Amino acid sequence: MKCIEFQRLIPDFINDNILNEDKYEYLEGFIEHSKECPECYDELEIHYMIMEGLDKLENDSKTSFNFKEELRMKLNMHEENIYNEFKINVIVGVINVIAQITLFVGIIMYFVRLL
pTM for this entry: 0.67
SS3 115: coil
Q: What is the distance between the alpha carbons of residues 108 and 46, in angstroms, rounded to a whole number?
A: 63
Confidence of residue 16 (pLDDT cuts 50, 70, 90): confident
Listed in sequence order, the residues at least 6 apart from 28 whose beta carbon sits closer than 8 Å to its beta carbon are: 82
- For residue range 40-88, list pLDDT tens digits in order: 999 999 999 998 888 877 776 666 678 888 899 999 998 898 888 889 9
pLDDT band at 35 (very low <50, low <70, confident <90, very high): very high
Q: What is the pLDDT of residue 20?
A: 63
